[in-house]
Structure 1
């Protein structure tokens, strides 16, 4: 007895050992030689052929290289990915929690009632990633107007600035002017051209055409108002982005001047030098920052500048000779974000008020400060510390008409929490005290302003916000327990405390009969360098889960693939994201964590080097049908990287780049045999523009020559994310369910089903199913009616720019019930989820046709002379409707096996399902069996533990 390992190619194909560039015909003589040699060695008497150990089974081959089937070290053949977590035979649902924050938060206006400023006087108006604002009467109608600088609508940065025109009825979206000023971070108002009309300057990144250098903009005001045709573009430095603008008459000529800060310099454009229109006339100070203010700190009548940034606040005193950086004063502040000059103690000298975001270690619970001006200058001794939480902006104004200005701080963040209370510190004759402050609810506010918007003579307070809520957790991920009906509910679920889960997977990782759960935690505390990122394991124990245990990654990004990649009997984990090479911190890539008898260990891993920062969970399938699992992923725009697997693993020399000839950014790659030719085809979802405009995604058809641009098709998509492939209508052709993640501008787009056919995906009109920023999907028959259902994870419900409604990540996900009449909104279950970012990357069913089975093909047995196969016995555990069935084939020559049909009790197409079945008489020297492991719904697996083929004399 001596088995010869061969490789299965597709569900019904012949054995093939394929290496890119080599054909099966070239190697046929080599295979025949091996067969002859084995026949001589194996010509001895035997009563039966038995396979019952890991070593016995490991030399067989697995459908799709074992992407969803393996033999464990215990010698049990089993399906890998399973959806039943409590061993009752019914599919359960994992709904991971991503981030639950809001985006594009409202602008909140708190009307002033003296010292009575609270939520009862709050007015909300729409925002669009608003960072800054200013209150001023631009059209001289006696009503103050509100100008806001909008930075971005989540991923979409091409948003306009807005002018809300004041009126007796307040501010409305129907009474506003929209001014192009993309990615604006600051706005200031001033009469920059001396015509007595107040103009607007936006620190932004406007581009006239794609590829142009970004510029800031000045919009000129006039009796006709503002127009995109009446503006001035401003460039600073070597194309640097302006962080902050300030306006003041610095040269005292009656016309306002403009001060701009970038990361490396501060630029003064004096009207007396016509410096706005003459860049060569600007005054450039070699000092950058994120905030700037103008005032008079020493009472000499000359304006002074204060610039904040990095870990300092810098005072640049003005004089008759202008501003000089060789005569500056520096005050140490850990992370200043904004600064205002104002005489808070009424001594005639402007004091410095600083919004301090965080302490040196990054903690945002720290002090902002007031530096009191003295005739001798400033010092830490003459400083008032005012507690804040991630202070990002400050304004100063007299809110109670007592002559002493109050201080308003925007509190933006405390660890992951952005829904905070911002502070109004009341001025008591120049003194401020924590506890003597008003707290106003604000969602992640990044800016604020003071101004009278209701014309009652009292300045009001407004806060400008982008994101609110929890940015990356804590949240609760859930397992919803199924019972084979449509009775999923919040009452029947188990919760897991998590932070920003970005993918998950599940399998019986330790072969104890219980399905285990892996969460990929990408972020724990946002915006810190030393994140707590990695894989979280919860171990199934029959009644629930135990754990957690953890594996460390720099970034656990986009899910995992689970398979026995190195064929040692232990499941391995291929993870998206990134880690560095142990012992070589300069080398980073994505990891394979190798399973072993001791489980998974931090140091037992292989790192596949990356040129990119990280990779989304890649595809793991046998794409070239050589019997080894390959990896396909997206690193650079317009390319797919293929790492070819082999006996020596993955090497840098065995990599192929597929050039799409189009600069697509791709999401999660999928593969299936759409055209039934026995080769896996690739579905490459193009992320496309974030506003949700329809673009095309590619389908690359596989062949023995690989993938090529002349063998591809296209389907329209709206920012597809993690998608599913299945035969929804049971017509024998695979369909594609495509999620629609985008829609910042246009609102949520529908998810799509493209119907497969023998002519591709364009024969029938696509089906559109409502969803809310769908990010993931899974397709199982959850209710046991024989039709596939679609679980849709919705990432975010889109808000509005016309009404005060932000984008919300806490929204309904849904389960569309399948049936003979298809899918409809009236037939679905909904449950609130917290911004899930995708579901399990693995579809239910096998890689080729998504059938609920996996195939194992034995090695080849050389039948001794004088006997023939007589009886097939097997030992298998088949819980919950799972099953094992067999076919056999024989041939007189090794090379003829490829052309011999698999047969069962009734010939080709039939299967042996009962142990002890008699085998039909046949002739041949070489024998193989094929075992098919079936599952009714993807929830459970059978276990094949022993196969015996007995022989009788001819």
Structure 2
């Protein structure tokens, strides 16, 4: 009986133990992280075969963390990227000048400065901000080949008119907003791209403080607003901070997740939202039936198969407190395979995966073939989790 009881306890421990472990103290330069992370992006900036991390900081210089190949990071910002204070909000990565290395676009909000950095080839960057012909109060950036000429272009989400910048292939950009994008006076917080109507062309879904939008591509990189016809709207006010696209029910089309908050829109509904695609780009709100109720204020959110069962789960970064306060767990909503989600947070993440998360990066940082997670927090220290499975 004693042996059976011991085995039962061990089995229960293994089932319930988190799939990730916190290695922040041993693998991050914690003292250098300033609790002002708005976004994080992982890429091999120095071309050494492992993934580094760039952190967009609010009102202080951005941070570049270089990976030693085992998932241990050092702060090499001062020698690699210009150290200038901006209100950095969102990051885009691409080889904009086609020279074989990755360059950086960072958009800023309060100081209305779009940062553009070209890679020297060794993971050090020069300021090429004069190549970006627009400024604005910007919160979102998306890299996309808008006109299908093989060059990465830039879409910027603004407080006001969003912008489309077309790349000439040498990292010089022209503002073609007027000819490619409908006139809109929104407060955009996030932009996602995907072929939502299955016509072979990439469309845009935009998360706003207020009315979210669906913009349909005509095949030539010209986008029209078809939101009213294609998307269910709530009767209550909505302040969306994140949008992601993914096929959650396995029917071959892209569905939509909106991460919602109540920060600047009074009486906004904090419940996150889930919309199901009918296959032709028309969406039905299935939030009540398919998504757990929450008031977490999700500033970050993404689809990812975190339990490796073949379907997309939802992970949210949350700030459940007034004036960006509070400390809230990173939530995991597990998919049952049919697009219905349940809270599986405790089975996936350790209790330390708590903070004020604005972004999460999923990648294999230590080269062991398992997914790891970098959590960018505003108001608390960033977190690095290594996968156990």
Q: Quote the Cα distance in structure 2 between the aligned partners of 1:266 and 1:221.
A: 26
Question: Are the counterparts in 1 of residues 203 and 215 from structure 2 also a CA contact under 8 Å?
Answer: yes
Q: Quote the Cα distance in structure 1 between the aligned partners of 2:149 and 2:61.
A: 35
Q: Which of the numbers 35, 43, 55 marks the counterpart of 1:190?
A: 43
Q: CA deviation at 1:217?
A: 0.8
Corresponding residue SS for 2:311: coil
Q: Which of the numbers 238, 254, 279 marks the counterpart of 2:127?
A: 279
Q: Quote the Cα distance in structure 2 between the aligned partners of 1:172 and 1:386.
A: 39
Deviations 1:535-559 (A, max 9, x none): xxxxxxxxxxxxxxxxxxxxxxxxx
Deviations 1:746-789 (A, max 9, x none): xxxxxxxxxxxxxxxxxxxxxxxxxxxxxxxxxxxxxxxxxxxx
Q: Quote the Cα distance in structure 1 between the aligned partners of 2:58 and 2:74.
A: 15
Question: Are the counterparts in 2 of residues 299 and 349 from structure 1 also a CA contact under 8 Å?
Answer: no
Q: Quote the Cα distance in structure 1 between the aligned partners of 2:73 and 2:352.
A: 24
Q: CA deviation at 1:385?
A: 4.3
Alignment of 1:226 onto 2:72: yes
Corresponding residue SS for 1:454: coil
Judged with a 3 Å threshold, the aligned counterparts in structure 2 of structure 1 residues 280 and 426 are, in CA distance, closer, same or farther, namely closer
TM-score (norm 1): 0.29
The RMSD of aligned alpha carbons is 3.6
Alignment of 1:421 onto 2:271: yes
Alignment of 1:354 onto 2:206: yes
Structure 2 unmatched ranges of 5 or more: 1-16, 328-349, 357-389
Q: Quote the Cα distance in structure 1 between the aligned partners of 2:117 and 2:217.
A: 27
State the match for 1:459 in structure 2: 312
Question: Are the counterparts in 2 of residues 425 and 432 from structure 1 also a CA contact under 8 Å?
Answer: no
Corresponding residue SS for 2:176: strand
Judged with a 3 Å threshold, the aligned counterparts in structure 2 of structure 1 residues 322 and 460 are, in CA distance, closer, same or farther, namely same
State the match for 1:391 in structure 2: 240
Judged with a 3 Å threshold, the aligned counterparts in structure 2 of structure 1 residues 304 and 430 are, in CA distance, closer, same or farther, namely farther
Question: Are the counterparts in 2 of residues 419 and 444 from structure 1 also a CA contact under 8 Å?
Answer: no
Corresponding residue SS for 1:290: strand
Deviations 1:596-654 (A, max 9, x none): xxxxxxxxxxxxxxxxxxxxxxxxxxxxxxxxxxxxxxxxxxxxxxxxxxxxxxxxxxx
Paired residues, what number?
A: 299
Question: Are the counterparts in 2 of residues 387 and 434 from structure 1 also a CA contact under 8 Å?
Answer: no
Q: CA deviation at 1:456?
A: 2.2
Question: Are the counterparts in 2 of residues 204 and 217 from structure 1 also a CA contact under 8 Å?
Answer: yes
State the match for 2:333 in structure 1: none
Question: Are the counterparts in 1 of residues 164 and 175 from structure 2 also a CA contact under 8 Å?
Answer: no
Q: Quote the Cα distance in structure 1 between the aligned partners of 2:212 and 2:227.
A: 14
Judged with a 3 Å threshold, the aligned counterparts in structure 2 of structure 1 residues 221 and 347 are, in CA distance, closer, same or farther, namely farther
State the match for 1:378 in structure 2: 223
Question: Are the counterparts in 1 of residues 205 and 214 from structure 2 also a CA contact under 8 Å?
Answer: yes
Q: CA deviation at 1:186?
A: 0.6
Q: Which of the numbers 338, 343, 350 marks the counterpart of 2:190?
A: 338
State the match for 1:315 in structure 2: 164
State the match for 1:266 in structure 2: 114
Q: Quote the Cα distance in structure 2 between the aligned partners of 1:274 and 1:386.
A: 48
Deviations 1:177-197 (A, max 9, x none): 444432101111112222221
Question: Are the counterparts in 2 of residues 266 and 285 from structure 1 also a CA contact under 8 Å?
Answer: no
Q: Quote the Cα distance in structure 2 between the aligned partners of 1:275 and 1:204.
A: 19
Question: Are the counterparts in 1 of residues 64 and 75 from structure 2 also a CA contact under 8 Å?
Answer: no
Q: Which of the numbers 230, 240, 256 marks the counterpart of 2:86?
A: 240
Question: Are the counterparts in 2 of residues 420 and 441 from structure 1 also a CA contact under 8 Å?
Answer: no
Deviations 1:353-392 (A, max 9, x none): 110112xxxxxxxx31110111351223577445362111
TM-score (norm 2): 0.65
Question: Are the counterparts in 1 of residues 103 and 117 from structure 2 also a CA contact under 8 Å?
Answer: yes
Q: Which has the larger radius of gyration?
A: 1
Alignment of 1:327 onto 2:176: yes
Corresponding residue SS for 1:379: strand
Q: Quote the Cα distance in structure 2 between the aligned partners of 1:260 and 1:460.
A: 28
Q: CA deviation at 1:201?
A: 0.8
Question: Are the counterparts in 1 of residues 193 and 203 from structure 2 also a CA contact under 8 Å?
Answer: yes
Corresponding residue SS for 1:242: strand
Deviations 1:475-505 (A, max 9, x none): xxxxxxxxxxxxxxxxxxxxxxxxxxxxxxx
Question: Are the counterparts in 2 of residues 297 and 373 from structure 1 also a CA contact under 8 Å?
Answer: no
Q: Quote the Cα distance in structure 1 between the aligned partners of 2:157 and 2:225.
A: 16
